[in-house]
C-alpha cells in the first residue's frame, strides 16, 4: 500500500505537501514497530471478518466495544492483511482524522445521541471519491498530490449518518479507463490488488480495493463506483453483496468521473442488510448533481426496513442466459432450488444485449474529467486530461503508463465542439439509454417479472447503458477451485428496495456466504491478526501540515 510515500512524486509537490507526505510515510513505518505490541493483547472481542453492522452496533450498544477501538481493530487487520501477510493491497490511504471521528462518535453514543445504524461504523471509500484531508488519486501517479477542496457529497452523507470514513481503497487506475488490456486492480500509484479468495484470480475492477477490503474484513462496509461493471464484477469475484444503484439515486459530485450518463457509486458489503443500511445513508438529492433530483420520490426510503424473508413468495424471476459449466453448475442449481423453495417462480428469459448503440464513454470522459479537475484548488497538479497524458508520457520510466494509455488518448482526441461529433455523441447517448431500457422493460413487463437474474455480473453492460439498478449476490463456491460464484438481479429504475428484499430472502434461506480465510486458508495461515490493547493507539496520529522539506 502506498500511502504518500516520500518518492519522486513527493518531491514534485510544494513544500507543505512534501512535509505531509513524509509525515504519513513515517507513520506507516511506525506500524511495523507497533505490530509486536498489538499481538500481545486480550482475546479478540469480535471476528471482524464475519461481523455485520448489527453485530458491531450490539457490541457498542452494550459498552463492550467503542468506535475508537473498532477503528483500531480494522487498522490492525489492514496492517496484518493488506500491508503485511498476504499483502492483498486493498487499502491505499488511511484518513488522518479517522480515530478522532471515532472518539467523537463514542462521545455522542455516551450522551445518547445516536445518528443511526451506521453510528461509529468504519467505512472505506474508493480512491476516486473526494475526502477532505486526503488526495483523490484514481490510482494515478499524476494525481498523487491532488487534494480536493471538500468531501464528496456521499462522504458528507456517511459522516452525517455517524459512519467513520476510515480511508481510501485501491482501484483500477482511472476506474479502468486508462488503457485496453490493463489488469483489473492495477494502478501505477497503488500497485496490484489481490483477490483474497484466490490470489491467482483477478479481483476484477475497477472497485477492486473496495471489494477486497469488504471481503477480507478491512472495514465493516465499503463504497465502490461503477460505470459499466465496476461494482458488480468485483462483487462477483469476491463473494460480496453489492448494489449498483439507478443513476441519480446516489450523488456523483466530488467523484472523479468517467461518464455523467452512467457513473454511480454504491455499497459493497458482506450481507444484504448491511448493503441496505449503507444505501440508505448514501442516497439524497444533491443540487450539485442535478440528476439526483429524479430520485426525490424515493429519497428517505429506509431500505433495511423493507427487507423481508418472504419477498420471494409469488415473485416471478426471469433466468437470463445459460447456467455456468463445471463445478459452478451445481452451485447455481442449488441456488435455483433455494429460490423455488422460497416460493419464487422461475421462468426462462432472453434479453438482447447485442448491437447496442456505440459506447459514449470516450466522448464523456474528457469533458467530465476536465470539469472535475477545474473545480480543484489552484495548486492542483493536473488541470486537464491533456496534462495527465503529458505527465504519463514524461514519467513512463517510473511506471506511469506500464500498460499504456490508449483510452486516455482516445478521449483526448474527441472534440465535442465539432457539430458532427456532438450530434453523433448525442444520438448514441439517447439511443443507448432508450434501446437498453426498452429491451429490459419489454422482458420485465411482457413476462410480468419482478427481476431478471444473470449469472455473475452478466447484467452489467446493458444495465449500465440503461442506468438501471442491479444487486449482486454470492451463491456459493466452486467445489473444484473454491472460487466464488454469484448472481445479479436487475430491475427497472429505482427498484432497489424490491431487488434487495428478494436478495435478502434468498440470502437468509441459503446461508452460503463464507469468508476468504475459510475458502482460502493457505493465504492466511501465517497471518497474525490481533486487536490492539484497549486504550492503546495502534497507529500514531497521521501528521499533515507544516512547511519545509
Do residues 70 and 56 lie in contact, with contact meaning Cβ atoms separated by under 8 Å?
Answer: yes
pTM for the model stands at 0.91
- pLDDT tens digits, one per residue of 83-94: 988 999 999 999
Task: Please state the rounded mean pLDDT for residues 483-509.
Answer: 98
Half-sphere exposure of 416 (CA within 13 A, CB side): 15
What is the DSSP code string of 244-291?
EPPTTSS--TTB--S-TTT-EEEEEESSHHHHHHHHHHH---BTTBGG
Residue 1 reports pLDDT greater than 60: no
Considering the candidates 82, 204, 230, 495, report the single residue annotated as catalytic: 230
Task: Please state the rounded mean pLDDT for residues 195-216.
Answer: 98
Distance from C-alpha of 49 to C-alpha of 214, rounded to nearest angstrom: 9
Q: Is 206 a catalytic residue?
A: yes
Q: What local confidence, expressed as pLDDT, does residue 533 receive? A: 73
Q: What local confidence, expressed as pLDDT, does residue 526 receive? A: 87
Distance from C-alpha of 415 to C-alpha of 316, rounded to nearest angstrom: 46
What burial class does residue 424 get, using C-beta atoms within 10 Å of its C-beta: 0-12 exposed, 13-18 middle, 19+ buried?
Answer: middle
**Predicted confidence band at 535 (pLDDT cuts at 50, 70, 90)?**
low
What mean pLDDT, rounded, does the chain reach? 90
Distance from C-alpha of 17 to C-alpha of 134, rounded to nearest angstrom: 11
**Predicted confidence band at 174 (pLDDT cuts at 50, 70, 90)?**
very high
- pLDDT tens digits, one per residue of 397-431: 999 999 999 999 999 999 999 999 999 999 999 99
Share of the chain above pLDDT 70, in %: 89
Least confident segment among 23-27, 91-95, 205-209, 435-439: 23-27
Nearest to 246 by CA among 263, 258, 259, 231: 263
Task: Please state the rounded mean pLDDT for residues 10-38.
Answer: 37
Considering the candidates 126, 159, 244, 366, report the single residue annotated as catalytic: 126
Q: What local confidence, expressed as pLDDT, does residue 529 receive? A: 81
Least confident segment among 448-452, 507-511, 545-549: 545-549
Considering the candidates 206, 239, 259, 457, report the single residue annotated as catalytic: 206
Domains assigned to the chain = 22-524 (3.90.1300.10)
Q: What local confidence, expressed as pLDDT, does residue 41 receive? A: 31
C-alpha distances out from residue 205 to 17, 182, 368, 378, Å: 30, 10, 21, 31
Residue 546 reports pLDDT greater than 90: no
Q: What local confidence, expressed as pLDDT, does residue 279 receive? A: 98
Q: What local confidence, expressed as pLDDT, does residue 538 receive? A: 59
Beta-bridge partners for 452: 318, 490
State the chain's maximal CA–CA distance in angstroms: 68
Distance from C-alpha of 72 to C-alpha of 59, rounded to nearest angstrom: 15
**Predicted confidence band at 11 (pLDDT cuts at 50, 70, 90)?**
very low
- pLDDT tens digits, one per residue of 377-403: 999 999 999 999 999 999 999 999 999
Residue 208 reports pLDDT greater than 70: yes
**Predicted confidence band at 534 (pLDDT cuts at 50, 70, 90)?**
confident
**Predicted confidence band at 320 (pLDDT cuts at 50, 70, 90)?**
very high
Amino acid at each position: 500500500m502506498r500511502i504518500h510515500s516520500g518518492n519522486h512524486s513527493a518531491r514534485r509537490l510544494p513544500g507543505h505537501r512534501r512535509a505531509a507526505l513524509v509525515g504519513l510515510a513515517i507513520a506507516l513505518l511506525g506500524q511495523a514497530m507497533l505490530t509486536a505490541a498489538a499481538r500481545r493483547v486480550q482475546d479478540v472481542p469480535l471476528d471482524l471478518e464475519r461481523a455485520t453492522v448489527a453485530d458491531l452496533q450490539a457490541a457498542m450498544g452494550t459498552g463492550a466495544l467503542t468506535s475508537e477501538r473498532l477503528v483500531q481493530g480494522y487498522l490492525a487487520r489492514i496492517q496484518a492483511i493488506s500491508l503485511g501477510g498476504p499483502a492483498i493491497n486493498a487499502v491505499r490511504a488511511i484518513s488522518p482524522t479517522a480515530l478522532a471521528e471515532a472518539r467523537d462518535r463514542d462521545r455522542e453514543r455516551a450522551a445518547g445521541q445516536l445518528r443511526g445504524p451506521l453510528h461509529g461504523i468504519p467505512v472505506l471509500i474508493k480512491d476516486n471519491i473526494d475526502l477532505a484531508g486526503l488526495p483523490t488519486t484514481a490510482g494515478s501517479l499524476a494525481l498523487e498530490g491532488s487534494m480536493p477542496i471538500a468531501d464528496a457529497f456521499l462522504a458528507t452523507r456517511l459522516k452525517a449518518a455517524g459512519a467513520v470514513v476510515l480511508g481510501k481503497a485501491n482501484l483500477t487506475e482511472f476506474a479502468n479507463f486508462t488503457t485496453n488490456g490493463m489488469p483489473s486492480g492495477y494502478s501505477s500509484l497503488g500497485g496490484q490488488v489481490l483477490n483474497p479468495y484466490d490470489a491467482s484470480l483477478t479481483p476484477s475492477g475497477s472497485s477492486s480495493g473496495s471489494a477486497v477490503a469488504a471481503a477480507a474484513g478491512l472495514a465493516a462496509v465499503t463504497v465502490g463506483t461503477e460505470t459499466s461493471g465496476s461494482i458488480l464484477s468485483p462483487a462477483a469475484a469476491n463473494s460480496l453483496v453489492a448494489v449498483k444503484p439507478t443513476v441519480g439515486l446516489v450523488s456523483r459530485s466530488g467523484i472523479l468521473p468517467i461518464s455523467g450518463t452512467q457513473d454511480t457509486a454504491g455499497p459493497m458489503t458482506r450481507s444484504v442488510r448491511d448493503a441496505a443500511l449503507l444505501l440508505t445513508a448514501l442516497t439524497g438529492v444533491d443540487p450539485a448533481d442535478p440528476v439526483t433530483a429524479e430520485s426525490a420520490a424515493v429519497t428517505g426510503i429506509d431500505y433495511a426496513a423493507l427487507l423481508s424473508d418472504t419477498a420471494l413468495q409469488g415473485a416471478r424471476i426471469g433466468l437470463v442466459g445459460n447456467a455456468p459449466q463445471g463445478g459452478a453448475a451445481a452451485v447455481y442449481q442449488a441456488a435455483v432450488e433455494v429460490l423455488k423453495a422460497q416460493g419464487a417462480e422461475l421462468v426462462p428469459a432472453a434479453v438482447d444485449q447485442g448491437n447496442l448503440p456505440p459506447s459514449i464513454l470516450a466522448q464523456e470522459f474528457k469533458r467530465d474529467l476536465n470539469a472535475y479537475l477545474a473545480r480543484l484548488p489552484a495548486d492542483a497538479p493536473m488541470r486537464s486530461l491533456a496534462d495527465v497524458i503529458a505527465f504519463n508520457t514524461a514519467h513512463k520510466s517510473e511506471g506511469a503508463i506500464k500498460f499504456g494509455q490508449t483510452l486516455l488518448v482516445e478521449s483526448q482526441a474527441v472534440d465535442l465542439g465539432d457539430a458532427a461529433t456532438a450530434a453523433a455523441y448525442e444520438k448514441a447517448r439517447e439511443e443507448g439509454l432508450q434501446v437498453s431500457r426498452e429491451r429490459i422493460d419489454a422482458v420485465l413487463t411482457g413476462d410480468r417479472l419482478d427481476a431478471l437474474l444473470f449469472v455473475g455480473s452478466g447484467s452489467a453492460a446493458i444495465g449500465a447503458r440503461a442506468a438501471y439498478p442491479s444487486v449482486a449476490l454470492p451463491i456459493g463456491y466452486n467445489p473444484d477451485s473454491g472460487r466464488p460464484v454469484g448472481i445479479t438481479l436487475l430491475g427497472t429504475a429505482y427498484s432497489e428496495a424490491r431487488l434487495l428484499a428478494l436478495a435478502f430472502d434468498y440470502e437468509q434461506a441459503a446461508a452460503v456466504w463464507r469468508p476468504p480465510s475459510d475458502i482460502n486458508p493457505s493465504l492466511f495461515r501465517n497471518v497474525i491478526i490481533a486487536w490492539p490493547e484497549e486504550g492503546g493507539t495502534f497507529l500514531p496520529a497521521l501528521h499533515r501540515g507544516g512547511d519545509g522539506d
